[in-house]
Amino acid sequence: MVSKPDISVKFCGYEIENPFLLSSAPPTCTGEMIQRAFKAGWGGAVTKTIKPDKTPVYDLKNRFGRMGIEDKQLVLFENIEEVSKRPVGTWVKEIKEIKKAFPDKLLVGSLMAEPKEDDWEDLARVISEAGVDMLELNFGCPHGMPERGMGAFCGQRPELIDSLTKAAKRGSSVPVMVKLTPNVTDIAYMAKTAEQAGADATSAINTVLGLIGVNIDTFEPMPSVDGKSTFGGMSGPGVKPIGMRCVAQIAQATNIPVSGIGGISTWKDAVEYLLIGAANVQVCTAVMWRGYRIVGDLVDGLTNYLSDKGFKSVNEIIGKTLPRLTSWSKLDKDWKVVANIDKDKCIKCGVCYIGCYDGGYQAIKFEPNTGKAAEVDEEKCDACSLCYLSCPVPGCITWKRVQQK
């Protein structure tokens, strides 16, 4: 009997049964919710962000928005929700209850405070002593909190990343992870700053600042709060390319592990993050959409993938793609391919022809209503890939290498 691949991962000294964590968000709003998630099979969870009791928090009514394809498939999800408004004492009590019930699950306490070192040091001390396995410093929330000097306000200022990370480290008795915002010019620089300040790990990304849309009948920006709105945090499948770029840049620039976040909905998404260097992955929006139960699909999908590929452990794939990511200047300028259309698979729809004619290099020949398949003029083809991406038939358009002239 062939044994199943080992999907446990090590992270800052902890062994996690699988690389799937719940990120700091509504699905980790209470201890009861986290315990239900652990029962469902999640390897770990990051609490909704805990703040000092003196810090006011407001839950706006109607604080979510979405963008989909024909109003069906979720592409982007927006929130203008703030951090947890529950007292520190309540969290201390529930953290103890969670660890008593699930001592082997990774429990991370997410923290946020004003940019005052004493506040971060004190909060880190209280929450670490409550029994969490790690702390995550929320330097990423892009809405509401930055207006009061918190969240992304700190994550966009390297001097605050430095001083507040050091403060949390002074107060903490457990490893400290810094959660970074993508709303910066150079996230790798911010990650290196956190590393130099003593962070044991980083996590990325927090949500991307954006505006989900406008109701063109009422003229209200969405989500509407009594007719008005603000810029909010974008999550969901649409932010995955940004998240992956940031995680890869951080993995290349630092020597501490990074927890990957952003648009992870399926096991395939998770595998991609692992391949570019994520030590584990955090999930939120997909859980809000479909519930804790999705972890079963994530675990099964990852296990089957590893088995099919012949890997004995998930650790064998972590960072496997990272060496293939380089600067644009180092890419092979002599690599030459052209599109090749399989005439037997071509359904004569003309999609490739239209795209190439109006948005490419006029390299595709096609005569509608003749029953003839499209053809590629190799002399004109510049291998931009537009036809390959727009073709509705899998495998119909492939690449053929040609000699450079």
92, 96, 99, 101 alpha-carbon torsion, rounded to 10°: -130
Give me the helices (H) in 150-186, please: 152-155, 158-171
Instruction: Please name the amino acid found at residue 226.
Output: D
**Known active-site residue 141:** yes
Give exposure, 128-153, as e/b (b: 16+ Cβ within 10 Å). Answer: bebbbbbbbbbbbbbbbbbeeebbbb
327: number of Cβ within 10 Å: 6
195: number of Cβ within 10 Å: 19
- The span from the CA of 173 to the CA of 176, in Å, is 9
Residues paired with residue 78 on neighbouring β-strands, in sequence order = 65, 234
On the 0-12 / 13-18 / 19+ scale of CB atoms within 10 A, 358 is: exposed
Catalytic-labelled residue, pool 12, 29, 141, 349: 141
What's the token pair of residue 350?
A: 């003309």
What's the token pair of residue 310?
A: 């012949």
Nearest to 140 by CA among 261, 253, 245, 248: 261
- The span from the CA of 47 to the CA of 39, in Å, is 16
Distances (CA, A) of 136 to 133, 140, 165: 10, 11, 10
User: What angle do the packed helices 267-275 and 240-253 form, to 10 degrees?
Assistant: 30
Total residues found in the chain within this entry: 405
Catalytic residue annotation: 141
